A = this chain, B = another copy of it.
Amino acid sequence: MTESREVTTDHAAAPGHGRVGPKRQERGQRRMAQIVSAAAEVFAESSYEAATTNAIAKRAGISPGSLYQFFANKDEIARALAERYVAELGVAQAKALDLEKLRTASLEETLAAVIAPLIEFNLANRGFKALFARPDMPPSLTEAVAPLHATLTERVKALLAMRFPQLAGDALDRTVTVAIQIVRAMMPLIVAAEEGPERDALVAELHRALHAYLSDVVR
């Protein structure tokens, strides 16, 4: 009898990720994108835990079995979604942020330039908060979205280091952490608020809080 180990569904991972898997055809790559998009929608409607893999498959228009042709498990889907978010956020910020111009901008202007695209991104990608704006994540998820957090932290750190050269070391790290926490805390409120004066007021409040905090840090 021919032993058939290694014959069970072996999954691919995003390129450049160490994992090996079947060579994806164009159809397969489209499917993977579909699945990630569907996951983003389902996560957005509840939470990571509450989202079922069967629901994701259904939303993507495929069977549960097909889903597992492309992702080894639920965490891998979250990881792929986190990677997509990192990439898209990079694009959105690159568009809005011109570091050279910011060098001479006021703190208000800098904050506006950073926050505005971030809010747009959160509004356009409501699944984002399921992976980002949570204080208590299941360990597996924490690992999956660690690169996302690391990336954002790095970007904020670079910005603050440029803006406040007198900040360094632990103090800088703490300031970055607190600033991110404030944004994370306010974002769900902003996204949940109805478009118009209500949301605008909350955004203004976020500006105010961040501006006041950062002004004080270097006082």
Contact = CB atoms under 8 A, between A and B. Distances in A.
A189 interface: yes
Interface stretch (A11-19, A62-70, A200-208): A200-208
A50 B138 contact: yes
A120 to B, nearest CB: 19
B136 A134 contact: yes
A112 B206 CA distance: 23
A138 B170 CA distance: 36
A174 B209 CA distance: 12
A104 B149 CA distance: 43
A211 B47 CA distance: 33
Contacts of A119: none
Contacts of A208: 213, 216-217
A134 to B, nearest CB: 7
A178 interface: yes
Contacts of A177: 189
A135 B138 CA distance: 15
Nearest to A192: B135
Contact of A129 (B135, B181, B215): B135
Contacts of A185: 135, 181-182, 184-185
A114 B185 CA distance: 20
Query: What are the nearest 9 A-B pairs in CB distance?
Result: A185-B185, A212-B212, A212-B216, A181-B185, A135-B188, A209-B213, A212-B213, A178-B205, A47-B136
5 contacts: A174-B202, A181-B186, A182-B209, A208-B213, A209-B209
Given A135-B135, A185-B185, A208-B216, 16 more contacts: A49-B49, A129-B135, A133-B136, A134-B134, A134-B136, A135-B185, A135-B188, A174-B201, A174-B205, A175-B205, A178-B205, A181-B189, A182-B182, A182-B185, A211-B216, A212-B213
